[in-house]
Amino acid sequence: MPIAKRIIDAVREVIRRWFDPSEIKSVGSTPDYRFSLANERTFLAWLRTGLALIAGGLAAAQFLPPLPLRHLREVIAVVLLLLGGTVAIRAVDRWARIERAIRLGEELPVSRFPAVLALLVGLGALLLVGAVLVMGFGGR
Amino acid sequence: MTRDPGLQPERTRLAWRRTALALTVVAVLALRLALTRGVPGALLGAAVVLLWAGALVALWGRAAGRGPVRAGTRALPSIALSTAGLALLSVPLVLRGVW
């Protein structure tokens, strides 16, 4: 399967680049260290966002009572876990891109990801509000 | 180097510590779930503890504020991949309650 092999090679290459500091240092010039630290804190903030989503998933799996819809609790938990993992992976990729842009004096890369994440979280919250209301009125 | 009035190194160190705390909370939650899922769950729980410990070792230098300020470190991808790993390990833990 050449396509699968190519994807695996590409993933391995990306991960190798994340772990190799000299790769990042090979382009542009070293910026003011404060910029690098700000970029690092942004990465950490995104990582904590991912951790919060994962914690939400783990809490849903353990502390929600069984919901009227079969396996809805597990679906909520898995969706939150996968979303959190995606946020964490994207955080390090984004950090590397921003570091590169700062070193080259380019504009920071723009992304739709924050908007998509906000919409997903907002939509999920709305659905849960609906579910709570339906359960509250349906129960009595 | 003159002292930075914006206290950037200190803020960054505290951000690392907050993240380490958040990671610990998630690891404890995952471990709690793992210990209710029988023997396979316990094995996954051991993997959770290993991931947590590995991430802590990777970020320790950053959180403790030793060493010079520098960009490009293995601590960043390490903690990100540990976080994603915790999420992936938790998926079978959640699903094991269903099957």
Q: What are the residue ranges spanned by the domains of chain A?
A: 31-109
What is the residue-averaged pLDDT of chain B?
86
Q: What are φ and ψ of residue A6, in 5° steps?
A: -65, -40
Quick check: B38 pLDDT over 70?
yes
| Whether B16 and A71 lie within 8 Å, measured CB to CB | no
Contact B82, B23 (CB under 8 A): yes
Quick check: B79 pLDDT over 90?
yes
| Chain A residues 77-116 within an 8 A CB cutoff of chain B | 77-78, 81-82, 84-86, 88-89, 91-92, 95, 99
Of the candidates A100, A108, A67, A60, which has an alpha carbon nearest to the alpha carbon of residue A84?
A60
From the CB of residue A33, how many other CB atoms can be counted at a distance below 10 Å?
17
Instruction: Determine what percent of chain A is predicted with pLDDT higher than 90.
Output: 48
Smallest Cβ–Cβ distance between B77 and the set A25, A31, A92 belongs to A92
> What ipTM does this complex have?
0.89
Q: Touching check for A76 and chain B: CB below 8 Å?
A: no
Contact A71, A63 (CB under 8 A): no
Tell me which residues of chain A have a pLDDT lower than 70: 139-140
Q: How confident is the model at residue B2 (pLDDT cuts 50, 70, 90)?
A: low
